Structure 1
Amino acid sequence: MKTFTLACCSTILVLGMMTSPTFAQQRLGWVYQIDGLTAYQSNADLSEGGEFSASRAFLRTTALYNLNGGTSVGLSASIGRFDYNFSQADNQPWEDIRDIRISVPLRFRAGNTASVFVSPQVRWDYQSGADAADGRTYGVFAGIAWKLSESLTIGPAFGAFSQFEDDDIDFFPALLVDWDINDRWNLNTGSGIGATQGPGLTLSYALNDTMTLGLSARSERIRFRLDEEGLAPNGIGEDKSIPVVVSFGYNPNPGISLNVFAGAELDGRLTLDDANGTELSRQNYETAPLVGVAFRARF
Structure 2
Amino acid sequence: MGNRFDLRAPSLLLTLLLSLLYSFQAFADRPKGHYPFSISASRIGTAEADVGGGPQSLQRESWLFDAKANYSVNRQWSLGVNLGYADLDYDWGNRGSTLFDGNLSSWQKVQRYSAGLSVSYRPDKHWMFLLAPKLQYASADTAPVSDAASYGVVASAMYRFDNGNLLGVGVAYLNDISEVRTVPYLAVNWRINESWRLGNPFSAGFTGPAGLELSYRLNPSIDFGLGSSKRTQRFLVEDDDVTVEIDEWVSFLRVGWKLNRSLSFNAYAGYYFNGELELSEAPMDSGERTEEIDNQTALALAVEYKF
Q: Normalising by structure 2, what TM-score? A: 0.81
Q: How far has the Cα of 1:39 moved from its partner?
A: 0.6
Q: Kindly report which structure 2 residues correspond to 1:85-124, keeping only aligned pairs within 5 A, or say none.
A: 85-88=91-94, 89-91=96-98, 93-124=106-137
Aligned to 1:55: 61
Is residue 260 from structure 1 mapped to residue 267 from structure 2 by the alignment? yes
Letter in 2 for 1:204: S
Q: How far has the Cα of 1:198 moved from its partner?
A: 2.1
SS of the aligned residue for 1:209 comes to coil
Letter in 1 for 2:42: L
Aligned to 2:289: 281
The CA distance in 1 between the partners of 2:162 and 2:90, in whole Å, is: 46
Deviates more, 1:104-113 or 1:52-61: 104-113
The CA distance in 1 between the partners of 2:62 and 2:204, in whole Å, is: 12
The CA distance in 2 between the partners of 1:194 and 1:298, in whole Å, is: 23
SS of the aligned residue for 2:194 comes to coil
Contact 1:128–1:227, Cα closer than 8 Å, also in 2: no
Unaligned runs of 5+ in 1: 1-25
The CA distance in 2 between the partners of 1:45 and 1:34, in whole Å, is: 35
The CA distance in 2 between the partners of 1:53 and 1:120, in whole Å, is: 32
SS of the aligned residue for 1:145 comes to strand
The CA distance in 2 between the partners of 1:163 and 1:265, in whole Å, is: 23
The CA distance in 2 between the partners of 1:282 and 1:101, in whole Å, is: 26
Given the alignment, which residue of 242, 252, 256 partners 1:245?
A: 252
The CA distance in 1 between the partners of 2:243 and 2:197, in whole Å, is: 39
Q: 1:195 to 1:262 in 2, by over 3 A?
A: farther
The CA distance in 2 between the partners of 1:157 and 1:192, in whole Å, is: 11
The CA distance in 1 between the partners of 2:190 and 2:91, in whole Å, is: 40
Is residue 292 from structure 1 mapped to residue 294 from structure 2 by the alignment? no
Q: How far has the Cα of 1:255 moved from its partner?
A: 2.1
Q: How far has the Cα of 1:189 moved from its partner?
A: 1.2
Q: 1:249 to 1:129 in 2, by over 3 A?
A: same
Aligned to 1:269: 276
Q: Higher RCO, 1 or 2 (CA under 8 Å, sep at least 6)? A: 1
Which of the pair is proportionally richer in helix? 2
Contact 1:238–1:271, Cα closer than 8 Å, also in 2: yes
Q: How far has the Cα of 1:296 moved from its partner?
A: 1.0
Aligned to 2:24: none
Q: Normalising by structure 1, what TM-score? A: 0.83
Given the alignment, which residue of 37, 43, 53 partners 1:38?
A: 43
Count the aligned residue pairs: 268
- How big is the alpha-carbon RMSD for the aligned residues of Structure 1 and Structure 2? 2.1
Q: 1:278 to 1:33 in 2, by over 3 A?
A: farther
Aligned to 1:169: 180
Letter in 1 for 2:212: L
Q: Kindly report which structure 2 residues correspond to 1:10-49, keeping only aligned pairs within 5 A, or say none.
A: 27=31, 31-49=36-54
Q: How far has the Cα of 1:72 moved from its partner?
A: 1.6
Q: How far has the Cα of 1:70 moved from its partner?
A: 4.7
Is residue 76 from structure 1 mapped to residue 76 from structure 2 by the alignment? no
SS of the aligned residue for 1:183 comes to coil
The CA distance in 2 between the partners of 1:261 and 1:154, in whole Å, is: 26
